[in-house]
Amino acid sequence: MEANNNKRKALGKGLEQLFSNERIDFDNFEREVVKEAKEQKDGVSEILLSEIRSNPYQPRKHFDEEALLELASSIKAHGVVQPIIVKKSIKGYELVAGERRTRASRLAGLTKVPAIIKEYNDQEMMEIALIENIQRENLNPIEEANALASIIKSTGMTQEEIGKKFGKSRSYITNLLGLIKLPDVTKNAVANGHITMGHARVLSKISDIDKIVELTTKIISENLSVRDIESLASLENFPKNKQITRSHINPKYHIFENIMREKIGTKIKINNKKIEIPFDSEKDLERILEIINIQIEGE
């Protein structure tokens, strides 16, 4: 453990901060890496775009072409302001961070870009790529779910630890990971924006794959809202993944629970004239209070 910590410290404050147990800040990580590079002689190099290939662990599969063109226009006018981060490989370089800047630079007609060359192993490259995308919210829900599953698999972190690291509630992480078991047709619909995360969360509670596919088609063809699909799923006798029954519950409460869950990011329960809002920690409670616009005097 000590050797691993020493290695990370040797790689710089940026990486040390990124892999700490505290909530991460990718922007701060990049600033630290750039700051350290500029303090060193030849810390920032100009490298050929033709020698750069994408990070093999890049979790994002879909890139917004319009946004890339806007970035390319900015690069034409001002150049690449923030250097990309790369790793030397057998043939050229592998991207560690800066996929959008690299793609936009190609669109802008550049042949070279400023880069910081670092030495990261495969696991570090994977985690940095996942963290960059999740932190900056550039992933669609399916890509984010796969990315989180990869981090959990490679690091052994719990869902609660992942939630704290990324500033998400544990229920948010659980709901997101639940999307992985959805059939491909539904996952593709989520990835392409044809159905929302709210729709997908409702569908992920159903264990009958055929029914999930049927409802996915129905959502798209009939433009059903999350409320519509929640009501439909509760009215039909679809097998549920979790057989949790609450007798004598007003069906509307399920709809209200899901609306509040979407807003707050925590599983809400409405029962016996009470609203239950669980939280994982004091910081999570502060996050919830901020969302519902409650300010504590003296804070």
CATH of the domain at 132: 3.90.1530.30
132 is annotated as an active-site residue: no
The answer to whether residue 111 sits within a structural domain is yes
Distance CA 89, CA 53 (A): 10
Q: Specify the pTM.
A: 0.57
pLDDT in tens, 149-169: 877 877 777 888 878 777 778
Q: Quick one: tokens of 169?
A: 């509630």
H or E, element range at 227? helix 226-235
Among the candidates 139, 170, 199, a domain finishes at: 139
User: Is the confidence at residue 246, as pLDDT, over 50?
Assistant: no
Q: In this structure, how many other beta carbons lie within 10 angstroms of the beta carbon of residue 167?
A: 16
Confidence at residue 5, expressed as pLDDT on a 0 to 100 scale: 47
The answer to whether residue 28 sits within a structural domain is yes
Distance CA 75, CA 107 (A): 9
User: Which residues have CB under 8 Å from 89's CB, separation 6+?
Assistant: 53
Q: Please provide residue 93's backbone torsions phi and psi, each rounded to the nearest 5 degrees.
A: -135, 155
Per the DSSP assignment, residues forming a β-bridge with 117 are 86
The answer to whether residue 177 sits within a structural domain is no
Q: Do 130 and 9 lie in a common domain?
A: yes
The answer to whether residue 221 sits within a structural domain is no
CA dihedral 36, 37, 40, 46 (to 10 degrees): -170
Q: Considering only 15-24, 54-63, 76-85, 97-106, which range has the smallest mean pLDDT? A: 15-24
The answer to whether residue 172 sits within a structural domain is no
Confidence at residue 59, expressed as pLDDT on a 0 to 100 scale: 73
In total, how many domains does the chain have? 2
Domain range for 22 is: 2-139
Confidence at residue 10, expressed as pLDDT on a 0 to 100 scale: 40
Selected catalytic residue, list 30, 32, 94, 99:
99
